[in-house]
Structure 1
Amino acid sequence: MNTGKVVRILGIDPGLRVTGFGLIDKAGQQLAYVQSGCIKSGEGELPQRLKVIFQNISEIISTYKPDMAVIEKVFVNVNPQSTLLLGQARGAAISAMVALDLPVAEYTALQVKQAVVGNGHAAKEQVQEMVKRLLNLPAIPQADAADALAAAICHAHGAHLGKLATKGFRVKGGRLV
């Protein structure tokens, strides 16, 4: 990695059963893998599962000291109950990040896939393979961790500067779709 300022980015792929996390360093145009993994919240009561997510993300932040965080936005699926539960897991993750004063960026899965694969409708396997290549990993990362790393890569590639807004997305009702 070059000797320019290094920015550490934490990516989060929220989930109630499994929340993926991934950390990368960016120096200039170079990206370097730091760490990734999955937080498993178990099968208990919802408040306890949310506590596991909150505590684990807080610990990751305290250990790796990222400069910023990125989280995937929730999509609405056919099961409203699943969407609500996912939203609560996402809320626990965001709460941990903002409680430790991290700035948080948000991207849709479509935006992340577009930035990493070049196709907003790419399959999970394509995302995993591109994350492996972009970070020069020895093996393909687990799907949830790969999605979290992809979110961090999306942010590192300048998505927050509006570059994705002109690549196959359109504005509808004030929102990027």
Structure 2
Amino acid sequence: MQQARKRILGVDPGSRRAGFGIVESGRFNPNYLISGVIRVEKYSGAERLKHIYQSMCQIIEQYQPDVMAIEKVFVYKNPKSAITLGQARGVILCAAAMHDVPIMEYTPTQVKSTIVGKGHAAKAQVQFMVQNLLKLTEMPQEDAADALACALCHDRYMSLGLDASLISRGTKF
């Protein structure tokens, strides 16, 4: 039985830069479609959130993903940073919800373990593995690589036929 191809939008949320990447799941290997970074450093406060939301809506409308895979927020030492990141992540989740795109969440450790083989891998290792797994001619930018890694992580979990409710609860496999 041929499995239907799915477009997976991976997102690495950020309050200054949000990475995104889209892969199409394949029978054997996922195919790279696009990746990039939403840069909002020049904006402040609510303008940043507005720009992130509008950009994410444009990406969703243009590429019509079947699912969004996004990194969960981990606890920061600085509460202000956690709140700012949470706000950016909130508008990203809202954009997906407004477009009826299902959302799957993965911890950074889950993503790195799936892509690199160790949960505390360096960003350079993630970039290297994403480049190799997707057969890219150039190494993706850090935030885009993290987003693509999130999409690849979801593709891997789905290819194993793992139950989505277990994944969203962070069950170890």
TM-score normalised to the size of structure 2? 0.90
More strand by share: 1
Secondary structure of the corresponding residue to residue 105 of structure 1: strand
State the shift of 1:139 in Å: 1.1
Question: Which residue of the partner structure matches residue 42 of structure 2?
Answer: 43
Q: Give 2:155's aligned residue.
A: 156
In 1: Cα distance, 2:42 partner to 2:77 partner: 22
Superposed counterparts of 1:22-171, under 5 Å: 22-158=21-157, 161=163, 162=166, 165-167=171-173
State the percentage of identical aligned residues.
46
Q: Which runs of 5+ in 1 are unaligned?
A: 168-177
Distance 1:65 1:132 in 2: 23
- In structure 1, distance between residues paired with 2:4 and 2:22: 16
Write the distance in 2 (CA, Å) between the matches of 1:4 and 1:151. 21
Distance 1:4 1:34 in 2: 19
Task: State the aligned residue count.
Answer: 165
| 4+ residue runs over 6 A deviation | none
Give, as a single letter, the amino acid of the residue that structure 1 aligns with 2:14.
G
Per-residue CA deviations over 1:128-151 (Å, capped at 9, x if unaligned) read 000001000001100000000000
Tell me the CA shift for residue 4 of structure 1: 4.8
What's the TM-score, normalizing by structure 1? 0.88
Name the SS of the counterpart of 2:25 in structure 1: strand
The 2-side partners of 1:71 and 1:166 are apart by: 17
Secondary structure of 2:69 counterpart: strand
Q: Distance in 2 between matches of 1:151 and 1:30?
A: 15
State the Cα RMSD in Å: 1.6
